[in-house]
A = this chain, B = another copy of it.
Amino acid sequence: MKLVFLSLLGVAGLAKIVGGANGPDEERHSFNAARDISIGYVVFNGYAPLDLWGPLQILTTLSADYNMTLSIISKEAGPVSSSSPPHRMPNGEMMSTDHVINSTMLATHTPETAPPLNLLMIPGGLGNRNMGNDTWIEDFARARFNSTDYVASVCTGAMSLAKAGVLDGRRATTNKRAWSEVVQHGNNVTWVPNARWTHDGKVWTSSGVAAGMDMTYALLSWMYGSEKVNSTMNLIELAPHTDEHWDPYAVVHKVPGADTTRPMKDLVGPVGYD
């Protein structure tokens, strides 16, 4: 009888009952540990390498313990470069990155071929701020938002989410150097200047580049609990910042509202050790 009941509800209904994205901690941890997690990582020319591969290192290592699948999603499947085409900056200047070294990864899926997703990850970089009239990232984020359990942005990836309208009425943060450029987007978004990352319902956003790893640690601990996530972090010798309010870069980059009264330094070490 229970099985029939759950079957009628479908996976989305089941998630609501037993934890899903926002239920009590233990139920959410068990629920996620027992299911397959389909991850979609968006990528585009001009992505910031660590925006992807910081979180992806944590996810890759943790996938030895939990069932995950990964789709790397771009407008077209195939090679995607960290180099951005020449483009006009918000101040009107033309910017060329021809002199910057670059490297290339392979996208496995397009928006059309990507499977249903539980976790959608959106990185940043120069590329998503320089797409002209091409709105494929925003369109994809908007189209998938309701069917996804967790949506996370790294760095200026928050600009794509803001443009998609999915940050409306929510708290979010972003890269601190690109702050003024990003926060013009979205309606009724509460942009948090002092945040290594934010968590508001199903939406997680991180500050610039390296902050994505700290957010990913917090998100995965939220999804699965800390035991195996901590082991994973200690295996890759990555000591995450665990205070979401620690944000010296708001001060360094003079973000309006930056809190200059907090210590600039943090105390980090292996997770699970006091």
Chain B neighbourhood of A190, CB < 8 A:
none
C-alpha gap A252/B238 in the complex (Å): 12
| Closest Cβ–Cβ distance, residue A176 to chain B (whole Å) | 7
C-alpha gap A244/B56 in the complex (Å): 26
Interface size on A, residues (CB 8 A): 60
B99 pairs with A236, CB closer than 8 A = no
A101 pairs with B268, CB closer than 8 A = no
The interface-forming segment of A24-32, A103-111, A218-226 is A103-111
C-alpha gap A3/B104 in the complex (Å): 39
C-alpha gap A126/B116 in the complex (Å): 30
C-alpha gap A269/B251 in the complex (Å): 12
Query: Could you say how many copies of this chain the assembly holds?
Result: 2
Chain B neighbourhood of A235, CB < 8 A:
177, 208-209
**A68 located at the interface, meaning its Cβ lies under 8 Å from any Cβ of chain B in the complex:** yes
Which of A54, A82, A175, A274 has the most chain B CB atoms closer than 10 A to its own CB? A54
Where the two chains meet, the residues of A that have a C-beta atom closer than 8 Å to any C-beta of B are: 39, 41, 48-50, 52-54, 56-57, 59-60, 63-64, 67-70, 72, 79, 82, 97, 99-106, 108, 175-177, 207-211, 234-239, 241, 248-249, 252-253, 263-270, 273-274
By Cβ-Cβ distance, the 9 closest A-B pairs, closest first, are A265-B269, A53-B53, A50-B57, A210-B238, A208-B237, A70-B101, A209-B236, A104-B106, A63-B101
A/B interface sample: 13 pairs, CB < 8 A:
A70-B103, A103-B106, A104-B105, A209-B237, A209-B238, A210-B238, A234-B253, A248-B270, A248-B273, A252-B273, A264-B270, A266-B268, A266-B269
15 A-B pairs besides A234-B249, A266-B267 with CB distance below 8 A are A48-B236, A49-B56, A50-B53, A56-B103, A63-B100, A64-B100, A72-B103, A104-B105, A104-B106, A105-B105, A175-B237, A209-B237, A211-B237, A237-B249, A263-B269
